Each structure stands twice: as C-alpha cells, then as structure tokens.
C-alpha cells in the first residue's frame, strides 16, 4: 500500500474498481450501524445473467415444498445447494444433519430457543452469551416476554446453577474473535451462530460439527434482502420443534426467496470449482483484505483509536495462512472510560453502533465493513479527520 492519505482512500485497485458515485453531500451521515452487505453487489453485477431466476405466475402457489424433508416447507433445491456449498467450503459437516430453513437467521435463533427451552419448568431458562455479544440476542430472547426463556446477560459472569442456553458466535459479532463456550456448566445447551464462518472473513480451520449451527445467506453472499437463513441440526426432535416454531410463526419461508437463494449458492459453489469463473470467496476476501489494510493504516496514523488484532491461521479453503477480516470493525477509543465513541463518530457524521448495545462499554463501537465503496471511502476520510473528542463534549 502507498503511504499518503489520498492514496489510502482512492488508490485501491479492488475497492475503487466500480465506484458508483464518489460525491455525497458533506452533511449526509454515513450509516455503518447495520451490517448491510451491499459491498457484494459489484461481484454479482459482474456475474451478469448467470444468476437470473424467473418466476411464472403459476409457480409455487402451495404452502408445501416439493421435497421430503422433515422441514416440510424447505425447497429441495435449496437443501441440495446448502449441502453442496458446505462440502465445497468445508466449513460445516452436513451428513446426518437436518436442515431447517428460516426467514433469516434471526427467526432461527428464536426457533432454536423455542426448541431447546424446557416446557416443564416453572421458571424460564436463562439465555446467555459472552460480552461483547450480538446486540440482538437480548431483544430476540425477551421481546414478547416469553415464559420459556429469559435473557441473563454475560455468559462470563453467569453463575446460576441449573439449565441455561448459551449463544456461541464464532467468528464473533461484533469483534470477529473465534469463540468457544464460556459457561462451565453441565446443563447447558449451545446454539452456534456461525453467520461469519466463511472464507472472506476468517480461516476455515475445520468443518464445524456442533449440535445446532446457524447460517445466513446475508453474510455469506450478501443477499440480505432475501431473508434466508438455515440451521444444521443434529437431533431430530430439536429439528422437528424448530420446524414447528417456523410453522406457527410464519407458516414456512417464502418459496421465491428459497429458490433464488438456491440459485445464488449454486453459482457460488460453481465459482469455487470452475477455474473459468471468478471465485466468489477469493474476490470477497481480497476486497475485505484491502479494506482492512486501509482502515488499519488510518487508525495507525491516528493515535486516538485501536483495532482488535487477529492471529494468522491456516485456512483449509484457501490452503494458505490468513488473518481474519471480519464483517465489522470493533473500534476502541483510547482515553477515559466515559469516552463515548459512538457519540464522537456521530459528530463526524459516521453512524455506528455503541459498545453498550453489545454488553460492552462506551469506548467501543461496531462499524460495518460491508458498505458500498463510496460509503467506505467517505468513512475513512472522516475517520482520518478525527483528532480526538470535541472540546466540551
């Protein structure tokens, strides 16, 4: 990488390849609060009509899918492509697993909580995750004041005896760290949220083979608008209960979204196997590597922030050692404990999510690394301009 500010922002061969519009109103706040994965648009645009899918008026009227899956609304084409992609990437075992499809992985988190919560207890089961945890877990667990399960906060300080459910997010959202369960109890049930266990974000060190594993197309290919997630579930009864949850909650999952997701996953697998195609994961990994290098340079040049560091690990997929390039940057303001990093960035028209939302402190923020080039470039420009908290704030 070259060394000037301008170069940091503008010279990247990857991320500046398809700038749509590099001028935004200076007054517009850049929204990096959500992990909206629009960065991937450039790849899919290049794929041309390879992923086109057309629906006729008489397609998919029925509630039921055409497969013989335990999950009665799961389209067999999607089931096939999910299994194929995991086999190509080697990030999860699929043989002898049940697949349950969901309207994004958020719905599957609720389905997993429903399936794993005992029904014969007077008290709701405690649900925990180690800080910093995904900001939606408390809300998803408690929003309808369920009597089945109750958010109990940081897994590290959880000391209650008895039953619990622990969310293990690996790589972790917000900080990208590889995780194992934290609670040392023998009555725990684990939900592995593996949304980011894909080669563009982290080394694939072994195929995951946990009891309940959640994935989503949003973070794998960028198709967040489709709202397609899937669970790989070892136990038949758990898969059956999760399917029941989906049935009551939404009577299944959109067939259009499932069939399009099948097509997209098919093209991703093809791109990994066909040397004439541009490998999706190599493309997106190089994009992420470039963005992270540029961000690290801005942060190094600015003495006020720190970024999480990640170890080099051997990746089974790329057959090489690589560093993590998480979907979110977990930025830490140096300085006093009461430093409000989210507020500081907001003053500089960068909208991020405060560490507080993740059970962590005000000095931290989570920043999406998956925006369109234009927004990412403006973000770096604005971050570079920050020299410390505004006086009096």
Q: Which DSSP string corresponds to 271-294?
A: HHH-TTSPPHHHHHHHHHHHHHHH
Count CB atoms within 10 A of the CB of residue 14.
15
The number of C-alpha atoms within 13 Å of 31 and in the hemisphere containing its C-beta is: 5
38/381 with CB nearer a copy of itself: 38
d(CA 190, CA 181): 8
Can you tell me whether residue 267 is helix, strand or coil? helix
Tokens 């758990």 belong to residue: 238
Considering the complex, what minimum distance in angstroms separates the CB of residue 268 from a copy of itself? Answer: 10
Question: Which residues bind to a copy of itself, rule: CB under 8 A?
Answer: 34, 36-38, 40-41, 44-45, 47-64, 103-104, 106-107, 110, 114, 124, 136, 139-140, 143-148, 218, 222-228, 245, 248-257, 260, 264, 267
For residues 138 and 355, which CB has a smaller minimum distance to a copy of itself in the complex?
138
CB 206 → a copy of itself: shortest distance, Å? 30
- Three-state SS for 307? strand
Q: Name the residue nearer to a copy of itself (CB basis): 205 or 254.
A: 254
| Shortest distance in whole angstroms from residue 5 CB to a copy of itself | 29
Identify which of residues 21 and 56 has a Cβ nearer to a copy of itself in the complex.
56
Q: How far apart, in whole angstroms, are the C-alpha atoms of residue 207 and residue 145?
A: 36
With respect to a copy of itself, which residue has the nearer C-beta, 218 or 297? 218
Identity of the residue, 194 or 203, whose beta carbon is nearer to a copy of itself in the bound complex: 194
Cβ contact 84:269 at 8 Å: yes
In whole angstroms, how close is the CB of 233 to a copy of itself at the nearest point?
19
Q: How far is the CB of 249 from a copy of itself (least distance, A)?
A: 6
Kindly report whether the peptide bond that precedes residue 81 is cis, defined as omega within 30 degrees of 0: no
CB of 218 to a copy of itself, least distance (A): 8
Question: From residue 313, how far is each of 202, 205, 290, 320 by CA, in Å?
Answer: 8, 7, 18, 8
Cβ distance to a copy of itself smaller for residue 145 or 276? 145
Closer CB to a copy of itself, residue 16 or residue 47? 47
In order of 284, 296, 352, the CA distances from 174 in angstroms are: 19, 17, 12
H or E segment and range at residue 351: strand 350-351
Residue 320 host element (H or E): strand 320-322
Q: What is the closest distance, in whole angstroms, from the C-beta atom of residue 136 to a copy of itself in the complex?
A: 7
Q: How far is the CB of 227 from a copy of itself (least distance, A)?
A: 5
CA distances in angstroms from 198 to 125, 173, 207, 208, 246, listed in the order given: 31, 13, 11, 11, 26
What is the nearest approach in angstroms of a copy of itself to the Cβ of residue 368? 11
**Cα gap 281→279, rounded to integer Å:** 6
Q: Choose between 124 and 181: whose C-beta lies nearer to a copy of itself.
A: 124
Sign (positive or negative) of CA dihedral 373, 345, 342, 333: positive
Are 78 and 225 within 8 A, CB to CB? no
Tokens matching residue 386: 């920050």
Residue 39 Cβ vs a copy of itself, minimum distance, rounded to whole Å:
9
Nearer to a copy of itself, 36 or 90 (CB): 36
């Amino acid at each position: 990488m070259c060394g000037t500010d301008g170069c940091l922002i503008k010279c990247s061969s990857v991320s500046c390849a398809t700038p749509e519009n590099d001028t935004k109103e200076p007054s517009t706040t850049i929204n990096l609060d959500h992990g909206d994965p629009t960065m991937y648009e450039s790849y899919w645009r290049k794929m041309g009509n390879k992923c086109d899918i057309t629906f006729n008026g008489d397609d998919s009227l029925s509630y039921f899918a055409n497969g013989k899956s335990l999950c009665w609304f799961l389209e067999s084409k999607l089931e096939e492509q999910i299994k194929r992609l995991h086999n190509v990437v080697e990030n999860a075992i699929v043989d002898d697993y049940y697949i349950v499809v969901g309207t994004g992985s958020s719905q599957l988190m609720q389905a997993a909580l429903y399936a794993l919560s005992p029904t014969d207890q007077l008290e709701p089961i405690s649900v925990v995750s180690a800080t910093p945890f995904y900001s939606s877990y408390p809300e998803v667990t408690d929003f309808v004041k369920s009597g089945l399960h109750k958010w109990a906060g940081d897994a590290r300080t959880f000391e209650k005896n008895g039953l619990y459910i622990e969310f293990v997010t690996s790589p972790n959202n917000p900080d990208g760290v590889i995780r194992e369960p934290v609670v040392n109890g023998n009555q725990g049930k684990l939900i592995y949220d593996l949304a980011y266990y894909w080669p563009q974000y982290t080394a694939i060190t072994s195929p995951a083979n946990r009891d309940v594993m959640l994935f989503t197309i949003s973070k794998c290919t960028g198709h967040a608008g489709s709202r397609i997630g899937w669970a790989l579930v070892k136990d038949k009864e758990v898969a059956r209960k999760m399917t029941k949850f989906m049935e009551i909650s939404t009577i299944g999952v959109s067939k259009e979204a499932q069939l399009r997701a099948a097509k997209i996953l098919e093209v991703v697998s093809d791109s990994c196997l066909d040397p004439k195609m541009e490998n999706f994961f190599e493309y997106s990994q190089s994009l992420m590597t470039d963005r992270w290098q540029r961000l690290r340079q801005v942060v190094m040049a600015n003495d006020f922030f720190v970024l999480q560091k990640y170890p080099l690990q051997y990746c089974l997929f790329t057959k090489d050692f690589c560093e993590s390039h998480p979907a979110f940057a977990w930025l830490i303001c140096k300085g006093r404990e009461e430093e409000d990093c989210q507020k500081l960035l907001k003053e500089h028209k960068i909208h991020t999510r405060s560490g507080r939302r993740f059970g962590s402190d005000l000095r931290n923020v989570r920043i999406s690394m998956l925006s369109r080039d234009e927004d990412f470039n403006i973000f770096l420009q604005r971050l570079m301009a920050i020299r410390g908290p505004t006086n009096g704030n």
